[in-house]
Structure 1
Amino acid sequence: RNGKIKKILSREVVLGDILILETGDKIPADAKILETNYLKVDESALTGESLVVEKSKEDLVFAGTIVVYGKCKALVEATGMQTKLGKIAGLIQEVEEKTPLQIKITQLAKNLAIIALIACTAVFAIGTLKGAPVAEILIIALALAVAAVPEGLPLALTLTLSLGMHRIAKHNAIVRKMLGVEALGSVTIICTDKTGTLTKNEMTVKKIFVNDKIFSVTDTGYKLKGEFLVNNKKIDVNKEKDLIQLLKTSALCNDATLVGTVGDPTEIALLVAAAKANLWKEDLEKKYRRVEEIIFTSERKLMTTLHEKNNKKVAFTKGAPEVVLQKCRYIQKNGKIFKLDKEEIEKILNINENFASSALRVLGIAYKTSATNVEKNLIFLGLVGMIDPPREEVKEAIVACKNAGIKVVMITGDNPKTAKAIAEEIGLFVKNKKFDIEGKQKKIVKDGIITGNELDKLNEKEFESVVEDIVIYARIMPEQKLKIVKTLKKKGHIVAMTGDGVNDAPALKKADVGIAMGIKGTDVTKETADIVLQDDNFATIVEAVKQGRTIHDNIEKFTCYLISRNFTEVTLILLGIILLGFEFLPLLALQILFINTFAEIMPSIGLGLDPPRKGIMSKQPRKPGEKILKKRNLILIVFVATFMATASFFVFLSAATGNIEKARTLVFATIVSMILFVPFSFRSLDEPILKVGILTNKLLVVGVACTFLLTLSIIYIPVLQNIFELTALSLKDWIIPLFVAFIALLFVEFTKLITKVIN
């Protein structure tokens, strides 16, 4: 600053300052590089990518990233909230959108409040017109208003979501936002990263071309056991001198280590391949002492190490095949050295092209037995092709998504060929699929693949017209994820989006369900996300969706059950007042409150904690915006509530000519007895009770039993009898309540069948 070198606090850096950065420095602002000396920067805090990034003159360095190698001078271009990091922070500080569940519950609460107000007003008006005492009819009206609103709903909802979070956590997914759990069950599209989520993030050597032979290497990941095959036949590695030389070279020209599996995944893969031939870097380095290294840069695309053995120097080189070939003058075959001619080069390049088209990342390997001009006149050994293999469980998870009507979209920074090959292997990509697209979109999208550059060429309307046809997004920048999410949501989809870098955070926040990677994800991404995957595994997302669907189904079940029970009481009281007058109410205020507060809550909680049903992942996703009280559920509630209220009213009529207190006790016993049967029918709103099972939800069984015992206590304990104005019933008296309750169960089953046919 002002021509002088000064050491200042990061917060004091301003535009125009020139930063002098060295290894270990955390970059305080966005800046353009003026001078550099082999600069490498760790941008994982920003991008989530673990590999360091090499920087050249005129390149930008970003605030929050760390210099891991080299030095540079850089001109500050942005500070604070104007930096890339600051802009991302601004995006994720926007007001949070309501989840689908919040919207549905808010709407339901409004509707129930209106119904409660109407019921309360109607009872009070009818009672007053029929000459009932104002104070007493007001108490009944208020009790009915309370009865019309299911008090157990918030408790059941909270417990359902909480247990859902616990169940999902058992499958390696931590739910950070409770209301986000249910949204999982509504997801129609999952946008997922490739590396580490669909794949293992463990590069694996699959093919080696040496001595005019193509060797296949078995096993995947960082497993140290495997075999070398030629034409699917196992070979003795020790007899293949050229292969041994290539594996030695790739192990020695290497900065990774298998001790703790530390280093670049590509270099680890080379060490693993060598280990499969019983060649260990530590043992080799005892014979070949490293004396010098020429590091890999993006401009050179080569790495060379110089070693000493028995006072003789030998150089080992690896890098991009075409660059390595330019440095080679000879080739080794059958242990002998030959001149490398044009015909041989053409053959090698064709093999390289074949490897690359199979989604293999290809390296050329060479060496030289001289210390002069170590990267000239090299001896070419061969090619090594490697790939990051898919996780074993992903293919099955993709099938599960397709069966569940959920579209899976791959978003990756890799090249289209690699992405396509992985997608084909896991069953995500369908060859020769035709799309109903015209114009330039058809040329760009082709068979469902689009790159980041091509995406930038499409305007908003053009992208909207093709977004639902795209299966693979390749060479995508994290900022483009936000555009993808917005467009999919605009088309009416419920979107789950994965991410790991800081610049993924805006897309995760905008998505209906933001999913952060627990292993390679940054803290900012995890804080923004609704769910954090502890194992970064796509199959975990699918399991979480299954639990999310279960949660929504359970919410639907206990909501329908509670409202049907509450409407039973409202309808029963309205029938009593209209047909019999105030003096002959079937239930009193305290009895209504007991049923609503105690008798209905435990069964509803049992329904809310119902385990996942078979076949839940074979259904199509719910339509976005579908209400909890949709047409089928409304028909079920109205029919069931009307039947139970009418049946209870007839029970009251049959006994009201005698003791009015006993008649009310019979009605009370009838409504509570329905708890013994009806909740089990509500375990599924479309399947028969015998198919779902009765005893498979032990919590519901316990809840029903406890509720019935509590009811018996207030009927038979004298003190409670007097408080609730009930009388003891004989065993014979219980025949009618239990019979009516069983008939109610049959009626619910019949109504479910009717609504299923209507649906």
Structure 2
Amino acid sequence: SQYTPDAIEKDLTFVGLEVMQDPPRPEVAAAVAECRRAGIRVIMITGDYGLTAVSIARKIGIVKGAHPKVFSGLELEKTSDEELRRALKGEVVFARMAPEQKLRVVENLQAMGEVVAVTGDGVNDSPALKKADIGVAMGVTGTDVAKEAADMILTDDNFASIVHAVEEGRAVYANIRKFMLYILNSNVPEAVPSAVYLLSGGAVPLPLTTMQILTIDLGTDMLPALGLGSEPPERDVMNRPPRDPHEHLLNKEVMRKAFLWYGLLGAAASLAAFVFAQAQAGWHMGAVMFGVGKDLDPTYVRATTMALAAIVFTQIGEVMNCRTELASVFSVGLFSNRQVNKGILFEVALIVFLTVFPPFQGVFHTCPLGLADYGFLVLLPPIVLALEEGRKAIVRRHLGIDRNGVRIEQENVER
């Protein structure tokens, strides 16, 4: 009965204070900063005390302002959805949250049009994990219920792994677009020469035969395009804002670049090579050079061979251009992608093979090319590369980014 607070807590000597701390991992602050650059907001929802939550959030960079809004569970119960959504537009930390309150925050973020990813490890996190667009459970400390409710599981329970996954996902998506851009641009140089033949009423001979078109579609296109799929992430991939989830993979920008830029460059090169071969033989407009079967005019065969080879050599420059969206290809290394290099060697070897070996000459209507012809062809890749590098440089200057694709002011801040 004598052990009361009034009786015990007197004549005391302060010796020290013992505390426990669960510090954030050292790589988390850098991961949060990378999220900011990528246009990804990070919001802390925790069961910890409010001051503890704000301290940790400030240490890892989730909040930057002097007075972030801190919601406790009791305060959130008294807050309407409209007030909550206004608060969610700024810096906010949620502390002492119950499972249903975490779910409410997720629902309101989705109502604001946000794509929401939620991390969690406990049974109480499962409603929010299930409701989120992407539920991320902890693989080491997470409960079975949380793992079942989630869409993906972190094997190392590390927030930085989520950021790395975002970077990899953006790189894969960009590489698919690069693949499509490269595959589509060869359609124009196949179609335009035929259109010239039709529009001229036959005055300009047909620049490509059916078998030569199939050679491009099934032979020379595929390996370089597959090499683009192994392209590493560009340096600026995490500096780009999130894309619209409703945006099509094959969008207008890809179509314009494939058909109206790369495609027309290839078509111009093909027609130039066709005219170059004819001019050397003294051909004039309206002269008939077709023939039938094995009796095809030699000048016509050489001209179609040059038109085919010009498309292939133009593709060498275009596959290099497709490796980066805005950054200079020289910033990533012109020949750094071995798969693309192998694809280029294959398509050059294939075109030489089809023009040199007699059994294939009759099938593909080709003939051997001379030194002057190859001199013309080897000029095409650097010309195409230079034109696209010039276009990218103009766009970069307009957007205020350097040759690596990074915004100049962002690079200065990092430096």
Task: Tell me if both proteins adopt one fold, taking TM over 0.5 as the criterion.
Answer: yes
Worse overlay, 573-582 or 599-608: 573-582
**Identity level (%):** 36
Q: 1:431 to 1:742 in 2, by over 3 A?
A: closer
1:413 aligned partner? 47
Q: Kindly state the Cα deviation for residue 665 of structure 1 after the two structures are TM-superposed.
A: 0.9
Unaligned runs of 5+ in 2: 284-297, 400-415
Judged with a 3 Å threshold, the aligned counterparts in structure 2 of structure 1 residues 470 and 654 are, in CA distance, closer, same or farther, namely same
Q: Per the alignment, in what secondary structure is the counterpart of residue 515 of structure 1?
A: strand
- In the alignment, does 2:187 pair up with 1:566? yes
The equivalent position to 2:322 in structure 1, one of 659, 682, 707, is 682
Q: Is the 8 A contact 1:632 1:755 kept in 2?
A: no
2 CA distance for matches of 1:473 and 1:667? Answer: 66
Displacement of 1:694 in angstroms is 0.9
Q: Tell me by how many angstroms 1:672 deviates.
A: 0.9
Q: CA deviation at 1:628?
A: 4.4
Preserved CA contact (<8 Å) 2:196 2:204: no
Q: CA deviation at 1:510?
A: 4.0
Instruction: Say if 2:63 and 2:91, in contact at 8 Å, map to a contact too.
Output: no
Mapping 1:607-686, distance limit 5 Å: 607-628=228-249, 632-637=253-258, 638-656=260-278, 657=283, 659-686=299-326
**Offset of residue 519 of structure 1:** 0.8
Counterpart for residue 605 of structure 1: 226
How many angstroms does 1:579 deviate by?
Answer: 2.9
Cross-structure match for 1:481? 102
Matched residues in 2 for 1:506 and 1:495: separation?
13
Measure the CA separation in 2 of the matches of 1:620 and 1:327. 67
Cα drift, residue 508 of structure 1: 3.2
State which of 417, 427, 430 in structure 1 corresponds to 2:64: 430
For 1:496 and 1:450, locate their aligned partners in 2 and report how far apart those are by CA, in whole Å. Answer: 20
Distance in 1, Cα, partners of 2:63 & 2:73: 18
Q: Distance in 2 between matches of 1:577 and 1:610?
A: 40
Q: Return the match for 1:741 from 376, 381, 392.
A: 381
Deviation at 1:632, TM superposition (A): 5.0
Partner in structure 2 of residue 715 of structure 1: 355
Per the TM alignment, residue 449 of structure 1 is displaced from its structure 2 partner at its CA by 2.0
CA apart distance, 1:535: 0.9
Letter in 2 for 1:485: V
CA contact (8 A) 1:492 1:624 kept: no
Q: Which residue identity is paired with 2:319?
A: P
Quote how far apart the aligned CAs of 1:524 are.
4.6
Give the secondary structure class of the aligned counterpart of 1:473.
strand
Contact 2:321–2:388 under 8 Å retained in 1: yes
Q: How many Å apart are 1:679 and its aligned residue?
A: 1.0
Amino acid at match of 1:686: L
Cα distance change, pair 706–408 in 1 and its aligned pair in 2 (3 A): same
How far apart are 1:685 and its partner, in Å? 1.8
1:194 — aligned with what?
none
Contact 1:639 1:751 in 2 (8 A): no
Per-residue CA shift, 1:467-489, capped at 9, x if unaligned?
22243222223333333333323
* CA shift in 2, pair 1:328/1:625, >3 Å: farther
Report the Cα distance in structure 2 between the residues aligned to 1:756 and 1:569, rounded to whole angstroms. Answer: 31
Residues 479 and 660 of structure 1, relative CA distance in 2, 3 Å threshold: farther
Structure 2 residue 79 is the aligned partner of structure 1 residue 458: yes
Total equivalences in the alignment:
380
The structure 2 residue matched to 1:526, chosen from 147, 157, 166, is 147
Cross-structure match for 2:392 = 752
| Amino acid across the alignment from 1:681 | N
1:393 aligns with 2:14: no
Which residue number in structure 2 is paired with residue 490 of structure 1?
Answer: 111
Taking only aligned residues, the RMSD between alpha carbons, in angstroms, comes to: 3.1
Provide the C-alpha distance between the structure 1 equivalents of 2:397 and 2:200, rounded to a whole number of angstroms.
35
- Out of 332, 337, 341, the residue aligned to residue 701 of structure 1 is 341
**Alpha-carbon distance between aligned partners in 2 of 1:682 and 1:542, rounded to the nearest angstrom:** 25
**Higher share in strand:** 1
Structure 1 residues 515 and 717, CA gap change in structure 2 (3 angstroms): farther
Partners of 1:559 and 1:753 in 2: CA distance: 23
Distance 1:650 1:552 in 2: 35
Structure 1 regions of 5+ residues with no counterpart? 1-325, 332-338, 349-380, 434-446
Counterpart AA for 1:660: Y
- Whether contact under 8 Å (1:635, 1:755) holds in the other structure is no
Instruction: Return closer, same or farther for 1:741/1:472 CA change in 2, 3 Å cut-off.
Output: same
Question: Residues of 1 paired with 2:28 and 2:372: CA distance?
Answer: 61
| Counterpart amino acid of residue 381 in structure 2 | A
Deviation at residue 599 of structure 1 after TM alignment:
1.4
Q: Is the 8 A contact 1:452 1:480 kept in 2?
A: yes
Query: Kindly tell me: are residues 643 and 566 of structure 1, through their superposed partners in 2, closer, same or farther at Cα, counting changes over 3 Å?
Result: same
The TM-score with structure 2 as length reference comes to: 0.80
TM-score, normalized by length of structure 1?
0.46
- Cα 1:731–1:415 change in 2 (3 A) is same
Counterpart mapping for 1:154-233 below 5 A: none
Q: Return the alpha-carbon distance in structure 2 between the equivalents of residues 666 and 564 of structure 1.
A: 19
- 1:586 deviates by 1.7
Distance of 2:104 and 2:301 partners within structure 1: 68
2:225 corresponds to 1:591: no
Aligned match of 1:78: none
Q: Does 2:163 correspond to 1:542? A: yes
Partner of 1:579: 200
511 and 329 in structure 1: CA distance in 2 versus 1, 3 angstrom threshold: closer
Give per-residue Cα distances to partners, 1:146-165, cap 9 Å, x unaligned.
Answer: xxxxxxxxxxxxxxxxxxxx
Matched residue type, 1:405:
G
AA in 2 matched with 1:595 = I
Give the partner amino acid of 2:267: A
